[in-house]
Structure 1
């Protein structure tokens, strides 16, 4: 039973964690810096299990563990593995590949249900939910996260409602700490700082992550007995830095964008037509969102945008490519701009130097400009080849949408983004890069596809439905999209797919559309997601 809350402010991440436990449980050891396998991490220690519920390591990662009573079907068996040891093990891993090897569904058998959150690189946390049988992963999770042994769904919901009602962008770190120490809402039985006959909040931890490192303040005991002075304070410096970037608010202006990308069209458009386009593309609503989101670091922008839109994506993956393999990610394009937000938010957590090969128009969104490798879509395609060749020859992880267009419904009512270009395959083979296939399981609104169908029936060549893409992004039809990650494909495997690069690109597209079915069949058959590659 715990409550974790956090907020990004101008001076970094502020995180507060209440640990709720039985009053008969041994008192935890004060936070200390522990070094194992060459990685230093500061954490309090549970003397009974030997693990921890909160760990901050020198790589800038914060791991937080909460028990999940809503998924608990029966009383945990005696002698089960301590979930706190899992946090301790993860915090001392040298890289994400080692952590991924631990967070596999078949390796979590024996652990009671839990929620595990990871904060890194000034972004919103990744969350793993283990219900005792199945592991699910989410990202762009909203604060706070809470658990309770009594009324395990109602009480956390009340705590979330109270916290979000009290916290605003102007809330200070001291006020966050004060909210975490309150017995509200209602009373101490359900309060954020809870106190019952046999269980209560036994400690409060406050973590501040900043550009140089992190500090951890720890208060032992129930908040009613806690003094203003922390019981213990520990600090840690980063071994590798990832300083926050701030681009600030730069409003979108359609006339200026058109004048830069399509000057001839912009010169011929009457003012009334320009105003109509600005309305159709929801320029005012987009600027309202940008003004709010640009207050945070650029690394936080995509996560913040997903939270602003109310989107909570789920990730289904069993293996990720190593950063040193120079991965190239290719993906379908079902919904438009939201696809880019989803994948940047997901991939930059693992690959901070990610570059997205995309329309040069997207550089007008200032917080995204550092991620965009611009391609002049309205110029001759051959003009972009030298720039793309240089990008593939580099070591930066790359993301590309081979279709280059948003999907429509085909005759089988599937979301189909058309023929995939062979360029990503050709350049990946030439540069000997690992290629990983992604698939976003999502769609746009019925109106979007109805207009596309009507346009085709009337033989109208102008893509009228494209004018709705901004509004589709601002009001997503699917709030919980799923992102499937296929097994990384080495150059020799990619070359063996077919006889030509064009055929290889179409094979990748076909496999991507089959990934939801393949993963489900493997999970149903084996009880967990297999990492084998099987063609259909």
Structure 2
């Protein structure tokens, strides 16, 4: 939920998310869970009952980062967990409907990456930002890879350093789901507070890496639990006509 990379492929996309969090926060590994009337695949945050990344049987994928464009002052209470919004976005027919209908009043600022496979292998990534007052929608070039970093943990200077790491890596490496996991799962510099595999003096660190690989009408979901040093992988057969 704090570092996200999007990589387009010839037959789909790879979305990978590093979760930088308090290691004591309880989380369940990805599985199929029922949310309202729909079955979704996601890791579950037991405190907020939501998630930071989820996918449905159509391949529609939503991923959350904390904060919008810049770091905000946290309020004592919010109306709803941002992790619930990730699940609610997948209840809609498409992400445009979600954007038009969602009421974000009283929700803590966030950035949400939503990727929607369309017809004839067209992939539509969307970036939704909410700064506490206004919604901002961006549709990046679906054929261009990108990296996003949470504004609550990384300032503009740190984001530029991380962008440079990503640019240098993607220009020199053979791209595959495993190579992208390796990018997320190693140190790139000398400062652990801004590294991709990060750790802060207050105990916040990269606790897991989640990856959704949509390809050839299949969805591979891989989850690395860095605290317990284990991994969890399963495959979903995509059904674009699924409600």
Give the structure-1-normalised TM-score.
0.41
Displacement over 6 Å in runs of 4+: none
Residue from 197, 210, 231 that aligns with 1:193? 197
Secondary structure, counterpart of 1:99 in structure 2:
helix
1:403-452 residue CA offsets vs partner (Å, 9 max, x unmatched):
xxxxxxxxxxxxxxxxxxxxxxxxxxxxxxxxxxxxxxxxxxxxxxxxxx
Residue from 207, 210, 215 that aligns with 1:205? 210
Does the alignment pair 1:175 with 2:179? Answer: yes
Is the Cα–Cα contact under 8 Å of residues 71 and 113 in structure 1 kept in the other structure? no
1:246-297 residue CA offsets vs partner (Å, 9 max, x unmatched):
xxxxxxxxxxxxxxxxxxxxxxxxxxxxxxxxxxxxxxxxxxxxxxxxxxxx
Q: 1:160 maps to what in 2? A: 163
Q: 2:84 maps to what in 1? A: 85
Q: 2:107 maps to what in 1? A: 111
1:196-218 residue CA offsets vs partner (Å, 9 max, x unmatched):
12200111112110122211111
Distance 1:75 1:220 in 2: 28
Is the Cα–Cα contact under 8 Å of residues 184 and 190 in structure 1 kept in the other structure? no
Compare the two structures and name the one with the higher helix fraction.
Answer: 1
Q: 2:219 maps to what in 1? A: 214
Secondary structure, counterpart of 1:233 in structure 2:
strand
Is the Cα–Cα contact under 8 Å of residues 72 and 112 in structure 1 kept in the other structure? no
Which structure has more relative contact order (CA 8 Å, sep 6+)? It is 2
| C-alpha RMSD of matched pairs (Å) | 2.3
Q: 1:27 maps to what in 2? A: 26
Tell me how far 1:220 sits from its aligned partner: 1.3
Q: 1:110 to 1:35 in 2, by over 3 A?
A: same
Matches within 5 A, 1:350-389: none
Gaps in structure 2 of 5+ consecutive residues: none
Is the Cα–Cα contact under 8 Å of residues 78 and 106 in structure 2 kept in the other structure? no
Secondary structure, counterpart of 1:87 in structure 2:
helix
Matches within 5 A, 1:337-416: none
Compare the two structures and name the one with the higher strand fraction.
Answer: 2
Q: How many pairs are equivalent?
A: 232
Gaps in structure 1 of 5+ consecutive residues: 242-536
Q: 1:102 to 1:203 in 2, by over 3 A?
A: farther
Is the Cα–Cα contact under 8 Å of residues 55 and 62 in structure 1 kept in the other structure? yes
Tell me how far 1:98 sits from its aligned partner: 4.6
Secondary structure, counterpart of 1:144 in structure 2:
strand
Distance 1:13 1:66 in 2: 19
Give the structure-2-normalised TM-score.
0.85
Q: 1:3 maps to what in 2? A: 3
Is the Cα–Cα contact under 8 Å of residues 199 and 205 in structure 2 kept in the other structure? yes
Is the Cα–Cα contact under 8 Å of residues 6 and 15 in structure 2 kept in the other structure? yes
Distance 1:33 1:150 in 2: 30
Distance 2:49 2:126 in 1: 24
Distance 1:226 1:10 in 2: 32
Secondary structure, counterpart of 1:66 in structure 2:
strand
Secondary structure, counterpart of 1:216 in structure 2:
strand
Whichever of the two has the greater Rg, that structure is 1
Distance 2:124 2:97 in 1: 21
Distance 1:212 1:123 in 2: 13
Tell me how far 1:120 sits from its aligned partner: 1.4
Tell me how far 1:75 sits from its aligned partner: 2.0
1:13-41 residue CA offsets vs partner (Å, 9 max, x unmatched):
222110111234x2211111124454332
Secondary structure, counterpart of 1:40 in structure 2:
strand
Tell me how far 1:125 sits from its aligned partner: 1.2
Q: 1:79 to 1:58 in 2, by over 3 A?
A: same
